C-alpha cells in the first residue's frame, strides 16, 4: 500500500465544467449514470485516469459512442482512457450495492434511508470520476425512486424538476449552481419528519431551512434548528458572511462514521449531533449540537466556497472552521469553560498523538489513507494555530485577513500557504517564521526561568520540540506566550513596561525578557493557553495561592489550579507516601466560599487531571503509579471538602429544569460535587450520601441530572447502581441514542468483571456492531475512558480491544481505525504492557483483508 506525498502534487490533467448524475435507487442493484464534460488542462497529458471502486461497469460512452471494454483499462481502483480529444463528454453507467455497504462511505442505507458520505474519497464508490478536491464542477442530480417508499429525494442546491415516470416511479432533479468538488456531493432518499423554518439574511433574502429526522423525532429537533438560525446570524455579525442558496437542509441519520458532513446545502448529520430534548439529552449534548451545527454551517464559506487544493491542506478548512465554531460557542456561552474543554482535548488527545506513531504536522506530508488524517492534530491543533494568528494580528486584523482571503479565493481550491498569505498581506505582518507550525509536528516544550534581582525581573523562555515518529529534526517556532505580572497582594502591576498583561514573542531557542520592577512580582505564564505547548515552570505553592484568586483570566485560574494539582500529583507519583499539602483544599475552599467564582468554572476546578494528561507530563512513571496518585487526590478532595461539597450541592441542585447558561452552570457544579460525594460514599459507606445519589436519580426531571446520578452511582456500585441500571434499561430500551449513555456508563465502570459485563451487553437488543455510535458507546468508551481496566496488567483489556478491531475491520474500516488509537499510543507505557500490545498488533497486521486504514496505523506503530 503506497503513500502519497504533498511534494508530488500535480494539478489535474483534465478539468470538468459540468457533471450530470442519474441515480436509480434499486437496492442491491442501484444504477448510477454520470455524464461529464471534460476539458484537457495539461497539454502534455496522454490519458485520463478516473478513480472508481466497488462498481460494476455497465457502459462507457465517449461523445455518445459506446466504447468497447478494450478501449479502456480497468483496475480495482481506477479506469484509464487513452487517445482522448481535448474536449469531450464521457457517460459512464455502473451498478453499485448500497444495501451491503457497511463501511458507511459512498452510498449506503441507514435504517431504511439512502444516504451518502463522500469526504474524503467516497465519491469513487459512487461513480468513476477524478475524486480530488481541486476538480470543481457544477452538479445536476436526478434521483429516481419509488415515492411511496422514499417520499423525500434530496441532493445539493435547488430542486428544479419533479416528474412521474411512466412506471409510477418519481424522478426529481437538483441543481447546485456553485461549482464544487465531489466530496461535497450528497444524496438522501427516505421517509422523514421535517421541521421547516425560514431565515432572512442580513441582505433580506429568505432562506428555507429544513431539518429531516426519523419519524416521531420532531420533538427532539427544535434545538438543532435554533442552533442553525443562531449560527447563520453569528456568521453575519462576526464575519460578515451570508448564506448563498435558497434552501439549507440537514438530515439526521443513525448510521454515520463521524459527527456531521458539510455537503453543500444538504448537511448529513449523525442523529446524535441533532436530536435533543430535556428528557433524553444532557447539557453537554445541547452544547455539542450547537457547536457541530455551527461547524457545518460555517464550512459553507470556509471549506465550500473556498475549498482545499488537495487533502494535505485539510487543516485549511478544518482548523479554520473549528476556530470559528469555538469562537461561536465562546460568544454564546462561557468563554472560560469552552477554553478549558479545548485545552483538555489538546492535552489529553493531541499531545498523545504527537508522541505516538501517527504524529504529523497540521499539514501532513505523506498519507496512505486520508480517512486517518481527520485527527485532533489537523482539527484542534489546526484551530490553535489559527488562534495564535488571531492573537498576533488581533480581531480586526484577522477579519481583514479573512476578507482578503475571500476576495482572492472565492470559488477556488487553495492551500494553507494562501491563507497565511492573505493574513500576512492584509496586516503587513511577517508570518514567515510562524508558518513553521504548518510543517513541523510535535509538542514544543517551553521552559520558563524567572529571576529577580536589583529591580530587574528576567523571564527566560527556552523552547525545545522533541523529535517525533515522523520527523527527527526540529527548529524553533514562533510561540506567543501570554503573561501577566502581579504583586504579592495579587494586584496587577500597572507600571511595568509593555503592561501588566502582555504577549512575549518567543522566536528563538532561548530568549530573556527583562523588566524594571520595584519588587519581586508573581508571573502567570501561558495565559489562556496562548500556544499549544507544554509549559514547564515550577510555581511555588505561595505563587499559586496568590495567583489563583488574583488572575483576571477565568480560564487561567483553572490552568493555575491544574499546575497546583499536577505539581503535587507528580510528587505523589514518585513517592507513594507523599502527603498532599493543605494548600490544595484551602485554595478550593476559598474559591467555593467566594460568590464571585463562576459556578461552571468551579465545576471544572473540582475535576482532577485525567490519567492521559498526567501520563504526558510524568516522564518515566508507570501508569499504575499515575492511577494511584489520581485516585489518592480524588479521595483527599472528597474527604477534606465533604462539608463544603454537601452545602454547595444543596445550594446548586435546583430541582426544576431550565435551559439557560446559568442553569447549566449550576447543574454542572452540583453534579461535580455529587461525583466527589460519591467517592466519599464509596470509601466511608456513608448511607446519607448514597441516598443523595439515589434521590437525584429518582427525582431528576432532566437527563443531565439523571446521567450524573447514574455516573455517581457507578462509582458507589453495588445494589444502588444495579437498580439504577435496570430502571434506565426499562425506561429507555429501544431508544438507542439514549441507551448509548447507558452502555457508556457501564463500560467506564472500574470493576474487575468489566469484560464479562461488556460481553453480556453486546447481546442487548439495542447493541449493533454495524452502528458506529453503539460500538463507540460500549467499546470506545471502555478503551478511552476506563484507564484502570483497559490497562489491566494482565493485558486482557488490550486483547479484548484487538479482537473488536479485527471484527470491525471487516465491517467498517474507518471506525476500526479510529478505535485502535489507545492501542497504538503506547509510548508512555511500561515494557511489559508494550510487549503485550505489540503482540496483538502483530497479529492484526497479519489479517488477510486488513484495510488500508488499519494497515497505515498498525505498521507505523510496529515500527516504533
Ligand atoms: N468534514 C466533516 C467535518 O469536519 C467531517 C468528515 C470528514 C466526515 N470525513 C468524514 C464525516 C466521514 C463523516 C464521515 O465536519
Ligand atoms: Zn469540519
Question: Would you say the CB of residue 531 lies under 6 angstroms from ligand 1?
Answer: no
Q: Which bound ligand lies closest to the C-alpha atom of 317? A: 2
> In the chain, pLDDT over 90 holds for what percent of residues?
99
H/E run at residue 784: helix 781-785
295 lines ligand 1 (CB under 6 A): yes
Q: For residue 325, give the ligand nearest its CA.
A: 2
Residues 486-521 pLDDT 10s: 999 999 999 999 999 999 999 999 999 999 999 999
Which cell is 75 given? 483496475
| Distance of CA 839 from the midpoint of ligand 2 (Å) | 36
Q: Is the CB of 468 under 6 A from ligand 1?
A: no
Q: All 3 cell numbers of residue 59? A: 457502459
Cβ–ligand 1 contact at 317 (below 6 Å): no
Q: Percentage of the chain surpassing pLDDT 70?
A: 100
Instruction: Provide CB contacts within 8 A for 397, sequence distance 6+.
Output: 423, 426, 427, 429
Helix axes 796-811 and 754-761, enclosed angle (nearest 10): 20
pLDDT in tens, 243-290: 999 999 999 999 999 999 999 999 999 999 999 999 999 999 999 999
Contacting residues for 155 by C-beta, under 8 A, at least 6 apart = 139, 141, 143, 174, 176, 185, 186, 187, 188, 266
Instruction: Report pLDDT for 1.
Output: 84
- Are 376 and 384 contacting, i.e. CB atoms less than 8 angstroms apart? no
Cα-based angle 455, 545, 674 (whole degrees, multiple of 5): 160
H or E stretch including 249? strand 247-253
Residue closest via CA to ligand 1's atom 1 equals 261
Question: Who surrounds ion ligand 2 at CB < 5 A?
Answer: 318, 321
Ligand 1 close to Cβ of residue 291 (< 6 A): no
Which of 20, 119, 210, 296 is an active site residue?
Answer: 296
Our answer on whether the CB atom of 258 is closer than 6 Å to any ligand 1 atom is yes
For the Cβ of 119 lying below 6 angstroms from any atom of ligand 1, the answer is: yes
257, 293, 321, 373: which to mutate for ligand 1, most atoms within 8 A of CB?
257
Rounded distance between C-alpha atoms, residue 850 and residue 512, angstroms: 52
Work out the number of other CB atoms within 10 angstroms of the CB of residue 642.
18
| Residue whose CA is at the smallest distance from ligand 1 atom 9 | 119
Residue of the CA atom closest to atom 7 of ligand 1? 119
b/e for 296-311, b at 16 or more Cβ within 10 A? bbbbbbbbbbbbbbbb
| Phi, psi of 47, rounded to the nearest 5 degrees | -155, 165
From 258, 328, 383, 818, the mutation candidate for ligand 1 (largest count of ligand atoms within 8 A of CB) is 258
Among all ligands shown, which has an atom nearest to the Cα of 258?
1
Distance 270 CA to ligand 1 centre (A): 10
Mutate to test the pocket of ligand 1, among 110, 251, 261, 270 (most ligand atoms within 8 A of CB): 261
pLDDT of residue 686: 95
Three-class secondary structure of residue 244 per DSSP: coil
Question: Average pLDDT per run of 10 along the chain, which is 864 residues long?
Answer: 96 98 98 98 97 98 98 98 97 98 98 98 99 98 97 98 97 98 99 98 98 98 99 99 98 98 99 98 98 99 99 99 99 98 98 98 98 98 99 98 99 99 98 98 98 97 98 98 97 96 98 96 98 98 98 98 98 98 98 95 97 92 97 98 98 94 98 98 96 98 98 98 98 98 98 98 98 98 98 98 98 98 97 98 98 98 95
Whether residue 261 has its Cβ less than 6 Å from ligand 1: yes
Atom in ligand 1 nearest the alpha carbon of residue 117: 14
CA-wise closest residue to 654 among 644, 669, 667, 671: 667
**Cα dihedral sign, 146-149-151-155:** negative
Atom of ligand 1 minimally distant from the CA of 104: 14
296 CA → ligand 1 middle, Å: 9
Q: How far is the CA of 611 from the centre of ligand 1 (A)?
A: 28
117 pocket-lining for ligand 1 (C-beta < 6 Å): yes
The contacts of residue 199 (CB under 8 Å, 6+ apart) are: 206, 207, 209, 228, 229, 232, 233, 243, 248
Query: Using CA atoms, how far apart are residues 152 and 213, in angstroms rounded to an integer?
Result: 11
Domains and CATH numbers, the chain: 1-191 (2.60.40.1730), 307-439 (1.10.390.10), 445-531 (2.60.40.1840), 733-864 (1.25.50.10)
Judge if the upstream peptide bond of residue 455 is cis by omega within 30 degrees of 0.
no
Alpha-carbon span 67 to 537, nearest angstrom: 70
Residue 774 DSSP SS3 = helix
616: annotated active-site residue: no
Residue corresponding to grid cell 513596561: 497
The per-residue DSSP string of 455-478 comes to TEEEEEEEEE---BTTBS------
Q: Give the other-Cβ count within 10 Å of 600's Cβ.
A: 25
Quickly count: other Cβ atoms within 10 Å of residue 445's Cβ.
Answer: 15
Q: Is 262 in the pocket of ligand 1 (CB under 6 A)?
A: yes
Number of Cβ within a 10 Å radius of residue 236: 15
Other beta carbons within 10 angstroms of residue 220's beta carbon come to 22
Return the residue whose CA atom lies nearest to atom 6 of ligand 1. 261
For position 655, what pLDDT does the model report?
Answer: 82
Given a contact cutoff of 8 angstroms between Cβ atoms, the answer to whether 90 and 60 are in contact is yes
pLDDT at 483: 98
- Length of the chain in terms of residues written: 864
- Return d(Cα 837, Cα 832) in angstroms, integer: 9
Closest-CA residue, ligand 1 atom 10, reads 119
Amino acid at each position: 500500500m503506497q503513500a502519497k506525498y504533498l511534494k508530488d502534487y500535480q494539478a489535474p490533467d483534465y478539468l470538468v465544467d459540468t457533471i450530470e448524475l442519474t441515480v436509480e435507487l434499486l437496492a442491491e442493484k442501484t444504477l448510477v449514470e454520470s455524464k461529464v464534460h471534460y476539458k484537457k488542462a495539461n497539454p502534455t497529458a496522454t490519458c485520463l485516469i478516473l478513480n472508481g471502486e466497488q462498481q460494476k461497469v455497465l457502459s462507457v460512452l465517449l461523445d455518445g459512442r459506446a466504447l468497447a471494454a478494450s478501449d479502456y483499462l480497468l483496475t480495482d481502483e481506477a479506469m484509464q482512457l487513452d487517445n482522448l480529444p481535448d474536449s469531450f463528454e464521457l457517460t459512464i453507467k455502473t451498478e453499485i450495492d448500497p444495501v451491503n455497504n457497511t463501511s458507511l462511505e459512498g452510498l449506503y442505507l441507514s435504517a431504511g434511508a439512502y444516504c451518502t458520505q463522500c469526504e474524503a474519497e467516497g465519491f469513487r464508490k459512487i461513480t468513476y470520476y477524478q475524486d480530488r478536491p481541486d476538480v470543481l464542477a457544477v452538479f445536476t442530480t436526478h434521483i429516481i425512486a419509488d415515492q411511496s417508499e422514499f417520499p423525500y429525494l434530496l441532493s445539493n442546491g435547488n430542486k428544479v424538476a419533479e416528474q412521474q415516470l411512466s412506471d409510477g416511479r418519481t424522478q426529481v432533479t437538483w441543481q447546485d449552481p456553485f461549482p464544487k468538488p465531489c466530496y461535497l456531493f450528497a444524496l438522501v432518499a427516505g421517509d422523514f419528519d421535517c421541521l421547516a423554518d425560514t431565515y432572512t439574511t442580513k441582505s433580506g433574502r429568505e432562506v428555507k431551512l429544513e431539518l429531516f429526522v426519523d419519524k416521531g423525532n420532531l420533538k427532539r429537533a427544535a434545538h438543532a434548528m435554533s442552533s442553525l438560525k443562531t449560527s447563520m446570524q453569528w456568521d453575519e455579525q462576526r464575519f460578515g458572511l451570508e448564506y448563498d442558496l435558497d434552501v439549507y437542509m440537514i438530515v439526521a441519520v443513525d448510521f454515520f462514521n463521524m459527527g456531521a458532513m458539510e455537503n453543500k446545502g444538504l448537511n448529513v448529520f449523525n442523529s446524535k449531533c441533532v436530536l435533543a430534548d430535556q428528557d433524553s439529552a444532557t447539557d453537554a449534548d445541547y452544547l455539542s449540537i450547537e457547536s457541530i451545527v455551527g461547524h457545518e454551517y460555517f464550512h459553507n464559506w470556509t471549506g465550500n466556497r473556498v475549498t482545499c487544493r488537495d487533502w494535505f491542506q485539510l487543516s485549511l478548512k478544518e482548523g479554520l472552521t473549528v476556530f470559528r465554531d469555538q469562537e461561536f460557542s465562546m460568544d454564546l456561552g462561557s468563554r472560560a469553560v469552552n477554553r478549558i474543554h479545548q485545552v483538555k482535548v489538546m492535552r489529553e488527545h493531541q499531545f498523545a498523538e504527537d508522541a505516538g506513531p501517527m504524529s504529523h504536522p497540521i499539514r501532513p506530508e505523506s498519507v496512505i489513507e486520508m480517512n486517518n488524517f481527520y485527527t485532533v492534530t489537523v482539527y484542534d491543533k489546526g484551530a490553535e494555530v489559527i488562534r495564535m494568528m488571531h492573537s498576533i494580528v488581533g480581531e480586526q486584523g484577522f477579519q481583514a485577513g479573512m476578507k482578503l482571503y475571500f476576495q482572492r479565493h472565492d470559488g477556488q481550491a487553495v492551500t494553507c500557504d494562501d491563507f497565511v498569505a492573505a493574513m500576512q498581506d492584509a496586516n503587513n505582518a511577517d508570518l514567515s517564521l510562524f508558518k513553521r507550525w504548518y510543517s513541523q509536528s510535535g509538542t514544543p516544550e517551553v521552559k520558563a526561568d524567572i529571576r529577580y534581582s536589583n529591580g530587574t525581573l528576567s523571564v527566560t523562555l527556552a523552547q525545545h520540540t522533541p523529535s517525533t515518529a515522523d520527523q527527527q529534526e526540529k527548529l524553533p517556532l514562533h510561540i506567543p506566550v501570554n503573561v501577566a505580572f502581579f504583586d504579592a497582594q495579587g494586584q496587577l502591576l500597572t507600571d511595568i513596561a509593555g503592561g501588566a498583561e502582555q504577549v512575549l514573542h518567543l522566536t528563538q531557542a532561548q530568549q530573556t525578557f527583562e523588566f524594571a520592577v520595584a519588587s519581586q512580582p508573581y508571573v502567570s505564564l501561558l495565559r489562556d493557553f496562548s500556544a499549544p505547548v507544554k509549559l514547564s515552570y515550577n510555581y511555588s505553592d505561595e505563587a499559586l495561592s496568590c495567583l489563583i484568586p488574583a488572575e483576571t483570566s477565568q480560564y487561567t485560574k483553572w490552568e493555575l489550579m491544574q499546575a497546583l494539582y499536577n505539581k503535587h500529583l507528580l510528587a505523589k507519583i514518585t513517592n507513594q507516601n507523599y502527603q498532599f499539602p493543605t494548600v490544595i483544599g484551602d485554595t478550593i475552599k476559598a474559591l467555593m466560599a467566594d460568590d464571585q467564582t463562576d459556578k461552571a468554572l468551579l465545576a471544572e476546578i473540582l475535576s482532577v487531571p485525567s490519567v492521559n494528561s498526567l501520563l504526558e507530563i510524568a516522564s518515566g512513571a508507570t501508569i499504575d503509579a499515575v492511577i494511584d496518585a489520581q485516585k489518592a487526590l480524588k479521595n483527599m478532595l472528597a474527604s477534606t471538602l465533604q462539608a463544603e461539597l454537601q452545602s454547595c450541592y444543596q445550594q446548586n441542585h435546583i430541582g426544576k429544569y431550565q435551559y439557560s447558561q446559568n442553569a447549566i452552570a449550576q447543574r454542572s457544579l452540583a453534579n461535580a460535587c455529587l461525583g466527589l460525594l460519591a467517592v466519599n460514599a464509596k470509601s466511608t459507606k456513608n448511607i446519607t450520601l448514597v441516598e443523595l445519589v439515589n434521590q437525584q436519580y429518582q427525582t431528576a426531571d432532566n437527563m443531565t441530572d439523571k446521567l450524573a446520578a447514574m455516573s455517581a452511582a457507578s462509582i458507589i456500585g453495588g445494589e444502588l447502581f444495579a437498580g439504577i441500571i435496570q430502571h434506565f434499561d426499562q425506561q429507555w430500551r429501544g431508544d438507542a441514542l439514549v441507551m448509548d449513555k447507558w452502555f457508556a456508563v457501564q463500560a467506564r465502570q472500574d470493576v474487575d468483571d468489566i469484560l464479562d459485563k461488556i460481553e453480556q451487553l453486546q447481546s442487548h437488543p439495542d447493541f449493533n456492531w454495524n452502528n458506529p455510535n453503539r460500538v463507540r458507546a460500549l467499546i470506545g468508551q471502555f478503551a478511552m475512558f476506563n484507564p484502570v481496566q483497559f490497562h489491566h496488567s494482565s493485558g486482557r483489556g488490550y486483547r479484548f480491544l484487538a479482537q473488536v478491531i479485527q471484527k470491525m475491520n471487516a465491517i467498517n474500516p474507518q471506525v476500526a481505525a479510529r478505535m485502535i488509537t489507545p492501542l497504538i499510543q503506547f509510548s508512555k507505557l511500561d515494557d511489559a504492557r508494550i510487549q503485550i500490545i505489540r503482540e496483538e498488533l502483530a497479529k492484526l497486521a497479519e489479517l488477510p483483508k486488513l484495510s488500508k486504514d488499519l494497515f497505515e496505523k498498525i505498521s507505523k506503530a510496529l515500527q516504533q
